[in-house]
Amino acid sequence: MRGRTARAAGIRPHMVKHSAAEREGISPRLLVSPAEERRAVTEGLLEGRTALVVGVANKRSIAWAIARRLDAAGARCALTFQGERTQRDVERLAGELGRPAPTMTLEVTDDGQADAAVAKAAQELGGIDILVHAVAFALAEDLGGRYVDTSLEGFRTALEISSYSLTALARRVEPHMRERGGGAIVTLSYLAAQRAVPGYNVMGVAKSALESMVRYLAWDLGEAGIRVNAVSAGPVRTLAARGIPGFTEMAEAAAGRSPLRREITAEEVADAALFLVSPLASAITGHVLYVDAGFHAMGL
């Protein structure tokens, strides 16, 4: 990228380093890191917007990468934490964001907490334009082994927390988004929604329901200008991922068989989430966007 193109992309002269050869005018080259470059091109993209981010547990959480990305693009974020266990970590992380970020407790199975969390976020941020849903849970005994052995309790737990919570939160943010003339919701899925991934079991079933909900919610909320999409992420080493038996082998195998032949990062998932909630995706809704180094495109 050079000259006018670099300026249009928000790349400033101090971000561009020239080698000795370049200084001699041979071949100007952009040497900023990919992360710096991505931040520069999206600066101000979400200026004046507000986002409720659900699913930050620690610095490895995909939701944390998304919160950082939205914050860097100009949005003000509110972060929820799941009970006292993660409160301190989430409050500390919130303090690292560039803009003041209120925090609030949210156990998604508790209607009262869901009402209170959305109301507090709307009040403290002055409205809600964006909802990030990055929540998943299944009983340990239902991950690994055979799907056929899933208990009704295990099924209810996985689907209530990992799928239904999107519907429950979408219903609560809808009036706030309507007040702002529209909004955007993004959730996190995985390829096991579409294919059988041994061991992922009831979480795969929950992700299928989640992706279906994205389509139904897109229809219901579309007339209010509210868009609903999902990012289907390849394996990322997070707390939730550690609960999946054989996760490391799965991640390595996926990396080896992906067109890009590598694992993906939480930051790359966050970039896609930023795109989907931004005006750049204004005609995109009901969509599942794969961020998996191309793994989903492969047959073998």
Say whether residue 264 binds ligand NAD (CB under 6 A). no
Tokens of 132: 């990030």
Angstrom distance (rounded) from CA 54 to CA 39? 22
Near ligand NAD by CB under 6 A: residue from 87, 109, 167, 194:
109
In Å, what is the CA distance from 136 to each residue of 31, 75, 133, 272, 290?
38, 24, 9, 19, 18
154 part of the interface to ligand NAD, by CB under 6 A: no
* Phi-psi sector, 77: left (phi>0), alpha (psi -120 to 50), beta: beta
Helix (H) or strand (E) holding 207: helix 201-222
Quick note: the x/- pattern for ligand NAD over 66-105, rule CB under 6 A, is ----------------x---x-------------------
199 binds ligand NAD (CB under 6 A): no
Residue 66 or 72 with smaller CB distance to ligand NAD:
66
Interface residue with ligand NAD, options 11, 45, 46, 61 (CB under 6 A): 61
Residue 25 CB, shortest distance to ligand NAD, in Å, is 46
Binding-site member from 52, 53, 62, 221 for ligand NAD (CB under 6 A): 62
291 binds ligand NAD (CB under 6 A): no
**Comparison of 32 and 51: residue with beta carbon closer to ligand NAD:** 51
Which residues are catalytically annotated?
A: 190, 200
Q: Does 288 bind ligand NAD (CB under 6 A)?
A: no
Q: Which is nearer to ligand NAD, 11 or 169 (CB)?
A: 169
- In the chain the first and final C-alpha atoms are separated, in Å, by 36
What is the smallest separation between the CB atom of 206 and ligand NAD, expressed in angstroms? 8
Under DSSP, the state recorded for 136 is -
Which of 71, 125, 173, 190 lies at the binding interface for ligand NAD (CB under 6 A)? 190
Interaction of residue 57 with ligand NAD, rule CB under 6 A: yes
If 0-12 CB within 10 Å is exposed, 13-18 middle and 19+ buried, where does residue 18 land? middle
In angstroms, the CA 131 to CA 99 distance is 17
Within 10 Å of residue 84's Cβ, how many Cβ atoms?
8
Phi, psi dihedrals of residue 26, rounded to the nearest 5°: -80, -55
User: 3-state DSSP call for residue 192?
Assistant: helix
220-249 residues in contact with ligand NAD (CB under 6 A) are: 233, 235-236, 238-241
- Check if the beta carbon of residue 267 is closer than 8 Å to that of residue 35: yes
The piece of 15-23, 51-59, 116-124, 139-147 that touches ligand NAD (CB under 6 A) is 51-59
Identified binder of ligand NAD from the candidate list 134, 202, 221, 270, rule CB under 6 A: 134
- Under rule CB under 6 A, residue 213 binds ligand NAD: no
The span from the CA of 36 to the CA of 40, in Å, is 6
Question: Considering the complex, what minimum distance in angstroms separates the CB of residue 121 from ligand NAD?
Answer: 14
Pick from 52, 95, 56, 86: which is nearest to 70 by CA? 52
Binding site for ligand NAD (CB under 6 A): 55-57, 61-63, 82, 86, 106-109, 134-137, 161, 188, 190, 233, 235-236, 238-241
